[in-house]
Structure 1
Amino acid sequence: MTFDLDTTPLVTLEDGVLTLPISLDGKGNALDGEAISQMKAALTALLAGEIDAGAVLLVGLGKNFCAGGNVAGFAAADDRGEHVRELADHLHAAIRQLDELTIPVVAAVAGWAAGAGLSLALAADFSVAGPDTRVLAAYPGIGLSPDGGMSWNLPRAIGPAAARAFILSNEPMPGERAYALGMLTTFVEGDVKEAARALAVRLASGPSESYAAVKSLLRASGSATLSDHLDAERDSIARLAVSPDGIEGVDAFVAKRSPEFGRG
């Protein structure tokens, strides 16, 4: 690791997990511009190989994951359109970085995930919810339309009709219902943040090349023919069969022991 985490004091790296706060306690858990700036700096370093992490964890530093954008800031701006455009560009740069990652991304969706907060949860590979989780589109409530990829990711998660009804109705939804629909990936009865961190730590010690290949194949599947995608799957699994993690995984299975990935 060559990136100095002292330059991003909100960001932490422990047990192979890069933890990125998106909202701050005491500020209503609205999306925080400085937190997103630090996220972008850390993700830039991670993508450049300057940070050695096996998973990313998105959290809110408070009782909620993220209650959406700072609406009071929208109202106070001299040029609301330009202000909101700049905020969307700021967020979307981070969303694009998350999408580029080859390692798993986990979101600890505790409390409310509304507006941009829900968009960030949808951008994660794993979104962990609990009994106190509530999700809300939020945008129609203030006369706006989605950002952060919500209108792209949500139809792919729950289908176009359900996504349209959820966003347009702007009704809060309990986490358990969101999980049942496929909007969120994981539901736990205990502490959401603890469960999300435990998941991220487990993933961080997993087969990184396998994760990267899975994410690459899934990204390509939407625009590939079945025949072309079958060729891509063949090439990928053959390549991984002679990779350090592939060799260790197969040998451990045959030996009936737990694999120790990341040693090669």
Structure 2
Amino acid sequence: MGNQTVEFVKDGKAAALYFNRVDSLNAMDIQMIKELSEMLEEIAASDIKLLFITGRGRAFSAGGDLKTMLSSTSDEGYQPVMDNIKKMVLALYTMPAVTVSLLNGAAAGLGLSFALACDYVMAEKQAKTAMNFINIGLIPDGGGHFFLKNRLGEHAAKQMIWEGKAMTADEALQAGLIDAVYEGDTEEQLELLKRKMEARPLKAMIATKAIFRKQGLPLLIDTLNQEAEKQLEMRGTDDHREGVQAFLEKRLPQFSGN
């Protein structure tokens, strides 16, 4: 599994996958999304039963890479990006292994959607989470609507999406967004979890996961398709253009509702 943006370490039937675009806070560009989807499909076809996902450097993932968004302004450039996001998320959601995301730092936007596709979501105490698409006039993608509704319920999910505010690890735990908070070194936490999980009946756990995933898969696919359709609409709005310009100019956006 030779990749430039992702590292993979296998240890028996357990494995760790590391985002490795450190200079970009592990933001997901098209290359990273492609490499992730390909790697996840390879993992799914292997004997791996326990998969940990975390980030190198100071962040889990800052979300979708803005340069990728700006370079795919046409419908022709946009659709391949969304197709690869769909492929990536479905590969993780349907993974025949127990999956754990460890948020070693910021997890925002698409990065948070990806983390929530795992069976367990843990965050280092100083990490922050945000579904912050609204700040540039967009909606969550990567199945964000599906995963947030599953964890928070529809009403709370809407509030989180619409507010776009960052949450501390403790706030995310209290809201039900994540499953646990840990302190200290992420690699040490990963090894501790690996020992604990390997002592569990993983085959039975994966069988339960398969039942729930079969029930949820049609809705997730429909959500991903709707997100791609609506996101394309949002990319043509005045509010999105203003949001991106304000981001680039490091100022607060002045939205018009158009």
RMSD between superposed Cα atoms in Å: 2.3
Matches within 5 A, 1:15-54: 15-48=12-45, 51-54=46-49
Give the structure 2 partner of residue 59 of structure 1.
54
AA in 2 matched with 1:155: K
Shift of 1:6: 4.5
Identity of aligned residues (%): 25
> Secondary structure of 2:18's match?
strand
After superposition, give the CA deviation of every residue in 1:175-198 in whole Å (9 maximum; x if it has no partner).
111111111111112233431343
Give the gaps of 5 or more residues in structure 1: 224-264
Residues 29, 68 of structure 2: 8 Å contact kept? no
Match of 2:167 among 150, 169, 173: 173
Give the structure 1 partner of residue 66 of structure 2.
71
Q: 1:166 to 1:193 in 2, by over 3 A?
A: farther
1:130 and 1:153 mapped to 2: Cα distance?
Answer: 20
Q: 1:130 to 1:7 in 2, by over 3 A?
A: closer
Residues 94, 213 of structure 2: 8 Å contact kept? no
The worse-fitting range, judged by mean Cα deviation, of 25-34 and 103-112 is 25-34
The worse-fitting range, judged by mean Cα deviation, of 161-170 and 211-220 is 211-220
1:76 and 1:6 mapped to 2: Cα distance?
Answer: 26
AA in 2 matched with 1:76: S
Give the structure 2 partner of residue 198 of structure 1.
192
Q: 1:134 to 1:81 in 2, by over 3 A?
A: farther
Give the structure 1 partner of residue 224 of structure 2.
none
2:30 and 2:19 mapped to 1: Cα distance?
Answer: 8
Shift of 1:30: 0.8
After superposition, give the CA deviation of every residue in 1:137-191 in whole Å (9 maximum; x if it has no partner).
1111111111111101101101111110011011111111111111111111223
State the number of aligned residues: 216
Residues 118, 137 of structure 1: 8 Å contact kept? yes
Give the gaps of 5 or more residues in structure 2: 218-258
Residue 113 of structure 2 corresponds to residue 151 of structure 1: no
Q: 1:57 to 1:222 in 2, by over 3 A?
A: closer
Matches within 5 A, 1:221-240: none
After superposition, give the CA deviation of every residue in 1:209-239 in whole Å (9 maximum; x if it has no partner).
202211023335669xxxxxxxxxxxxxxxx
Which aligned segments of 4 or more residues in structure 1 are displaced greater than 6 angstroms?
A: none
Shift of 1:7: 6.4
AA in 2 matched with 1:74: M
Residues 91, 148 of structure 1: 8 Å contact kept? yes
Residues 74, 80 of structure 1: 8 Å contact kept? no
Matches within 5 A, 1:134-149: 134-149=128-143
Give the structure 1 partner of residue 106 of structure 2.
112
Residue 10 of structure 2 corresponds to residue 13 of structure 1: yes
- TM superposition score normalised by structure 2: 0.75
> Secondary structure of 1:11's match?
strand
Residues 54, 208 of structure 1: 8 Å contact kept? yes
Q: 1:116 to 1:7 in 2, by over 3 A?
A: closer
Give the structure 1 partner of residue 177 of structure 2.
183
AA in 1 matched with 2:116: L
- TM superposition score normalised by structure 1: 0.73
